[in-house]
């Protein structure tokens, strides 16, 4: 993600450099994924490879590609076809495992264009069309970009949260979470929040770098409620473990200030 979104070198708006990166405006970079990858459907392993790749493409998140030869499930070519001006014409494959079928789960550039010959024999994968993915022996929801990172740091700067102008949280012991390509987020101890928090709400999101986020409703002093204005990670992934027990805030009616200055959303 850091390569293909601003200010990455393969993005449409790269950061200033002392060199010129020649090539078309829309760039492709295929990198090896260095671990064993397995995909399951109906309890059966249908993809098993140590030769996976990530395709980095301007403006897009990295996409997993696997050798078609390493698909162990039964393949069925479908009638679906699409065209990409940067890669070529794609045909599609479904995977069958017993009575389960993952429709059009793979796309293949049978004759990739001349500038991307290395796509020959590889298949892109819609990850959500299989039941389960393993990165080595760890179950994952996606495959992380090696150029994307998350850092969590303690900060003694004064962090305040206002909702519709009302101060609802303040602390000198927040955690600052910096994530590639995103604005800084501040996570506050729950004890620093003075407004009632209710939840979790039905909303949830998944981040391959931080884990599964649950959301909370904030009740203001006048009794009004801001749904999903706060979120937390019950069991954050290893490098983000410090944010457990903390909450972060965001939304149209919410403003976060650090040492009195608003934080960009």
CATH architecture, range 28-140: Beta Complex (2.170)
**CATH T-level assignment (fold) for domain 150-262:** 2.170.150
Query: Can you give the pLDDT at residue 22?
Result: 80
Per-domain boundaries in the chain: 28-140, 150-262
Q: What are phi and psi of 92, to 5 degrees?
A: -120, 150
Query: Can you give the pLDDT at residue 62?
Result: 93
Query: Can you give the pLDDT at residue 1?
Result: 52
Query: Can you give the pLDDT at residue 86?
Result: 96
150-262 has the same fold as 28-140: yes
Phi-psi region of 226 (alpha: psi -120 to 50; beta: other; left: phi over 0): beta
What distance, in Å, lies between the first and last C-alpha atoms of the chain? 19
Q: Give the model confidence (pLDDT) of 14-47 as tens digits.
A: 889 888 878 888 999 999 999 999 999 999 999 9
Does 208 or 197 have the greater pLDDT score?
A: 197
pLDDT average, residue stretch 208-226: 94
Q: What are phi and psi of 68, to 5 degrees?
A: -60, -30
């Amino acid at each position: 993600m850091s390569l293909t979104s601003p200010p990455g070198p393969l993005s449409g708006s790269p950061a200033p450099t002392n060199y010129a990166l020649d090539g078309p405006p829309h760039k492709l970079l295929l990198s090896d994924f260095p671990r064993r990858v397995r995909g399951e459907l109906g309890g059966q392993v249908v993809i098993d490879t140590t030769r996976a790749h990530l395709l980095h493409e301007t403006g897009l998140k990295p996409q997993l590609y696997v050798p078609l030869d390493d698909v162990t499930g039964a393949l069925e070519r479908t009638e679906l076809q699409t065209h990409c001006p940067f890669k070529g014409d794609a045909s599609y494959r479904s995977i069958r495992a017993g009575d389960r079928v993952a429709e059009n789960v793979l796309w293949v550039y049978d004759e990739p264009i001349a500038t991307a010959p290395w796509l020959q024999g590889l298949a892109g994968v819609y990850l959500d069309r299989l039941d389960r993915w393993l990165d080595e022996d760890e179950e994952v929801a996606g495959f992380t970009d090696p150029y994307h990172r998350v850092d969590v740091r303690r900060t003694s700067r004064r962090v305040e949260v206002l909702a519709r102008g009302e101060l609802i949280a303040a602390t000198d012991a927040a955690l600052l979470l910096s994530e590639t390509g995103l604005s800084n987020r501040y996570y506050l101890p729950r004890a620093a929040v003075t407004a009632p928090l209710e939840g979790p709400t039905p909303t949830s999101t998944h981040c391959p770098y931080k884990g599964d986020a649950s959301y909370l409703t904030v009740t203001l002093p006048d009794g009004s409620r801001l749904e999903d204005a706060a979120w937390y990670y019950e069991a954050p992934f290893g490098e983000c473990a410090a944010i457990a027990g903390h909450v972060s805030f965001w939304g149209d009616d919410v403003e976060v200030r650090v040492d009195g200055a608003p934080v960009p959303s």
